[in-house]
Structure 1
Amino acid sequence: MTQSEGAARLYTTIEGPIRFALLDWALETGLFDLCAEGRTAKAVADARGLDAGQVALVLRALVAARFLEQSAGVFHTAPDILPFVVADGSRNLRENLRAMAGMRHAGLDDIADLLRPDRPAPERPLFDATHWDRAHGSLKAFHRAVAADAMEPCLVGLPEWTRAASLLEVGPGSAVLARRLLARRPELHITLLDLPPVADRIRVDTADLPVEVVAGSYNDTLPEGPFDIVWCSMSLYFRDNGLQRLIERLADLLAPNGVLVSFHEALHDARTGPPEHVIGRLMPSLRQGDVSFAEGEIADAMSDAGLADLETQTVTTAFGRFRLDLARKRD
């Protein structure tokens, strides 16, 4: 790249906080709902008790950021984000977007202090049960809006899918995926393992579903197998005794010819990419430790656990690039 392109990249980066501030304001004020059918700047200002001239400046910036579209002085919520930002949308991401920003942006002014060797030790492990209890609503929204769309094909595309009798989901966070899977195969026996407060919430959400919800930590006691499919999606970060030991314990739960499936990020290029994971997870990593997986790390643990027929592929999602690793238990 030329020096001019390098300078342009530096200047473009300055816009990042402004873009999120615009998005956050629009979410907080319900602007996207207001503009779903189109509104002039004056109509928006009148509806919110604001100054029309100032509102026009912000609306134009939202158009530049591609959150709104403008035609003949009328501002519309961009169609491609509309399902994710309107209050009554089934794919509403508002709670999740704001929660993710709160987690990823927290402490940005403290980077220098977090680099000091005498920085305070973390007050608690990476994320504890209380954190996940609070995050349940955000996770549920994330799964319902975009995550289940990415995860469901990973399972229904397995050769084992049509004949599997049982499936264990480790650390699901919500019942969204289980509900989708049961809609395809009502006879499938699904077990969901999550921390006690989250398990309690999932039980409420699955009162109408034939699923088994087990409260506990995979560092302690796992549900009794065997299972034809063990599914782990963005959940294996919190192992107390190392990844290899955890993968071995999960492999032990498999029925003969059962398959262990992992859906996690895979850092490459000496842990400098993909940027959405390296940059997006920087602040939690500085505060609580880097737990992201390197490319091949989970696959190698599966192989070392004695699993066979290893398969890997990259899955591109709305929330980043992930690696699907799977391996089977052969007699």
Structure 2
Amino acid sequence: MHLRLHGAHRNLPKAFAGRGSRIYDLVARRVLRGFYRRLADDVSATAPQGGAVLDVGTGPGVLLVELSRRRPDLHLTGIDLSADMVGAASRNLGPRATVRVGSVTELPFPDRSFDLIVSSLSLHHWDHPEAAVPELARVLRPGGRLQIYDFRFAPFDTLTGAAREASVFTERPPERTTIRTGIPLFPRCVRYTAG
């Protein structure tokens, strides 16, 4: 279903480059702000004191902005495929977080770098979600948590299968919960947690 709806996203960085990144930045900050506030409340409740948090597919960094307001104790990092999105995130965040260009299938971080990994409205864009699972597990600290928020059609089953196959996220098996977004266009999304 995922591939039928979205196909391969080989040109995703181009879609979120230049004008596309400016448009999405505006939409994320204005139209989706309430959604990101709800996610920030949810993430803030689970992030450990002084924890290191990675936002995969950070886009213009709106979730990190909201997290920094709620939890100034957190060490926030964002990663995105699009250099223009990383530029927008840097402008929106200033010194509150570190953002860099990178792929979820080749995370540019040492092993066990993060206590919490989050991703919002990004999974459905990943070309190879099964290849992301070992990388996410690699950079997550023991006892850490993965929280992915996305549309119901995102390839959550692929993540679960890859986690089972790689024998990762066994401490806290993957679980899906439907949550309200506060956005009339898409009133619900799925929160996928593992650890």
Flag whether TM exceeds 0.5 (same fold): yes
Q: Deviations over 1:81-130 (max 9, x none)?
A: xxxxxxxxxxxxxxxxxxxxxxxxxxxxxxxxxxxxxxxxx9x9465223
* SS of match in other structure, 2:16: helix
CA shift in 2, pair 1:293/1:129, >3 Å: same
| Separation of aligned partners in 1, 2:158 and 2:84 | 30
The answer to whether 1:178 aligns with 2:64 is yes
Contact 2:119-2:147 within 8 A present in 1 as well:
yes
Higher relative contact order (CA 8 A, sep 6+): 2
| Separation of aligned partners in 1, 2:29 and 2:91 | 13
| CA-atom RMSD in angstroms | 2.5
Structure 1 or 2: larger strand share? 2
For residue 137 of structure 1, report the CA deviation from its aligned partner. Answer: 2.2
The answer to whether 1:200 aligns with 2:87 is yes
| Separation of aligned partners in 2, 1:142 and 1:303 | 36
CA shift in 2, pair 1:301/1:316, >3 Å: farther
The answer to whether 1:321 aligns with 2:188 is yes
Rg comparison, structure with higher value: 1
| Separation of aligned partners in 2, 1:164 and 1:325 | 23
TM-score of the two chains, using structure 2 as the length reference: 0.77
Give 2:187's aligned amino acid.
G
CA shift in 2, pair 1:233/1:304, >3 Å: farther
Give 1:243's aligned amino acid.
P
Q: Which runs of 5+ in 2 are unaligned?
A: 1-6
Contact 1:314-1:321 within 8 A present in 2 as well:
yes
* SS of match in other structure, 2:108: coil
| Separation of aligned partners in 2, 1:307 and 1:201 | 32
| Number of equivalenced pairs | 176
Query: Residues 69-80 of structure 1 correspond to what in structure 2 (within 5 A)?
Result: none
The answer to whether 1:148 aligns with 2:36 is yes
- Residue equivalent to 1:210: 96
CA shift in 2, pair 1:248/1:326, >3 Å: same
